[in-house]
Amino acid sequence: MIPDEMREIFEEFLVEARENLEKLETDLLELEKDPTNQEILNSAFRVMHTIKGGAGFLGLDAIVETAHKAEDILGKLRNGEISFSDTINDLLLKAQDKIKEYLEKAENQEELELDKELISELEDVLKNPDKYSTEKPVSSKEEETKPQTSEQSFEETSNDPVSKLLKKYGFEHLIGKSIEEILEELVLMPPSERPEGLIQELDAIINASPSKTVDNVSQKKEEDIAKEMEKTSVSEDVKSAPKESPQTPSQVVEKKEPPKQTHPKEKEEEKVLRIDVQKIEALMNLVGELVLDRNRLVKVVSTIMQSASENNEQIKGLDDLESVLSSIDRIVGDLQVAVMKTRMQPVKRLFQKFPRVVRDLAKLLNKQIELITEGEDTEMDKSVLEKLEEPLIHIIRNSVDHGIEPPEERELLGKPRTGIIKLKAYYQGDRIIIVIEDDGRGIDIEKVKKKALEKGIISQDRLEKMTEKEVLSLIFHPGFSTADQVSEVSGRGVGMDVVMTTVMNFRGTIDIETQKGKGTKVTMAFPLTVGIIRALMVSIGNRNFAIPIYSVLEIIQQENATITTVSGEDVLILRESTIPLVNLADVLGIRDSKIGYVIISQLGNQRVSFTVEELYGDEEIVVKPLGKIFGEIEGISGATITGDGNVVLILDLAGILKRISHGVRV
């Protein structure tokens, strides 16, 4: 349990620890591709050490113990005492998952119970490395010929005095570690337990060392220590040491005046300010109100100018008012874009979860698969990003299980043994596109038809009239699956309907392309923002409504539209394609409405047309919830206030389709 006075520090630790765990997972997966990469090994070691230090400061013993064992393994890997293997990496990833689980429990104020079985497995790697390594670790003879790092040379020249000091102060467990690691470990201890005397004597050894190499190493490490101390809020304790005492590590940094060059990454981190999401939402709401008032002001000024023009009046200051309005319009627009950008996050935060998913599933199914990600810097609204993880996991699991063939089968087909799954994101106009593509066996269209008939999802007559795209859309039907048997990975018929629901909830679209034996491509498109949107203003009868502009593909005047009936259903014939037609007046229960225009919309993966009476152009609107009194109404996504001050309902065309399928009017 975290005490109240430490809660703020814990919350900061929680954010950093989760970011570090994501970084650690990426490093461990990269190590499988390049086990000898010393830079990645060092990075993984530092991350685990940082997590251990922060957890120790907060008294999270289960995390400290788990991280400590994993850190020891990483330390031996980077020193060449243990050789990297998939089995060792599986255990390190297991430790990472366990730490993540501990963080969740700590956040919920639950007790952390040490996983003794995992600790035992990690200890076994340290005691019996040969059992887990694919190669023998570097022998002592090889070690003599191996080029020495600055860290190793220092350990050999100062091992005796350092060991004596550690024994003197009761820190024998640190014997064998480099002096910079020892200093870092000591400084990260809680202030009440930190042995200042030992730190000062170790610092004296550093200053007394004639080796320039040592000097450079210790200087670099001391800078890292100072940063860690600042992160764990213990720097003030070190600064308060008496002036006459030997210099502490942080003071040595000052004395040596390290180069003032700063890495670009460090500069970037200094500019980052974490802000509570609630504050961003409040700011977004205020900007929304400002946009509404801007629209009303535009309408008022337009009315005044029109009146003056009709009456040939010269109103003093009207030109100045128009100029000011133009300036306000521009500033509000820029402010709106700036605030919306604060809600945007790079898709990298989402994409970095999937290499682990693909790796684990590929191992489970004995397949060789490489995941390639592109466009990770593409940004999208946080609210959409957070909901996309589950749909993407379903699609990727299908690619791994049903799409990519086993290595032997791929070889017989003349394909590389390793299958490829591509995950990419990019902008297209005011939409963000996410694509999942594989080079597997593709979707068997005939099998989809057969399964759809077996499950009674569609009739034989209707199936014969469907295009290939329409047949593919059947896989989004709840309970649909082409798998012949259920596995622990897929085949239960749940998943793709979840994908469709999520896509439609965020007013997105989804499209599937497949080629038998070549692969499958799933393309999803989402609006960049969800709070302030452009909408097409329409009327049905004497009622005005708003339709989000991004769901409108095409508009046709009634006299140019070919409307007919097929199997008792109204359809629009457009360029030899048959598109279902929905009369919005009938669905909304509005009488005495004429058909003036037909709006063609892309909903999910299908095109649907809707009839309206009049069009009034497009307008920027702020989506407001209907409130607790009305709750959520399927077919109505919210309301807005137009420039003339009227409240207008925003139609959710996807929701209206659901209503029709349920036989319910809005």
| Cα 118 to Cα 91: distance, rounded to the nearest angstrom | 8
* CB 263, CB 88: distance < 8 Å: no
Identity of the residue numbered 425? A
SS3 423: strand
Question: How many whole angstroms separate alpha carbon 76 and alpha carbon 41?
Answer: 10
The DSSP code for 517 is T
Strands 419-428 and 509-515: unpaired
Return d(Cα 4, Cα 362) in angstroms, integer: 44
Catalytic residue among 20, 22, 25, 49: 49
Contacts of 373 (CB under 8 A, 6+ apart): 351, 354, 355, 422, 423, 424
Q: Kindly state the tokens that stand for 574.
A: 């457009």
CA dihedral for 207, 208, 212, 213, sign (positive or negative) = negative
Q: How far is it, in rounded angstroms, from Cα 555 to Cα 611? A: 10
Ramachandran area for residue 414 (φ above 0: left; ψ -120 to 50: alpha; else beta): left
DSSP assignment of 587-615 equals: HHT--S----EEEEEEEBTEEEEEEESEE
Answer whether 580's CB lies under 8 Å from 473's CB.
Answer: no
Distances from the Cα of 327 to the Cαs of 231, 284, 289, 291, 302, in angstroms? Answer: 44, 21, 18, 14, 15
Which structure tokens are listed for 170?
């009761």
- Mapped onto helix, strand or coil, the DSSP state of residue 434 is strand
What are 127's two structure tokens? 């005691």
Active site (annotated) includes residue 49: yes
Measured CA to CA in angstroms, residue 355 lies from 31, 90, 123, 127 at distances of 13, 14, 27, 30
Which residue in the list 71, 180, 184, 185 is annotated as catalytic?
71
Classify burial at 131, counting beta carbons within 10 Å of its beta carbon; exposed 0-12, middle 13-18, buried 19 or more: exposed
630 in Cβ contact with 606 (< 8 Å): no
Task: Locate 126 and state its tokens.
Answer: 């340290």
Q: Which of 398, 605, 613, 620 is catalytic?
A: 398
Q: Which helix (H) or strand (E) holds 236?
A: helix 235-239
Burial 300-320 (b: 16+ CB within 10 A, else e): ebeeeeeeeeeeeeeeeeeee
Question: How far is residue 373's CA from residue 319's CA, in Å, rounded to a whole number?
Answer: 53
Number of CB atoms found within 10 A of residue 370's CB: 16
Can you tell me the distance from the alpha carbon of 128 to that of 83, in angstroms, rounded to the nearest whole number? 12
Which phi and psi angles does 210 have, rounded to 5°?
Answer: -80, -10
CB 301 within 8 A of CB 315: no
Q: Is 398 a catalytic residue?
A: yes
User: Hey, which residues does 546 pair with through a beta bridge?
Assistant: 537, 650
Return the residue matching tokens 């099998």: 447
Burial 445-460 (b: 16+ CB within 10 A, else e): eeebbebbeeeebbee
Residue with tokens 């002096």: 179
Q: Which residues are catalytic?
A: 49, 71, 398
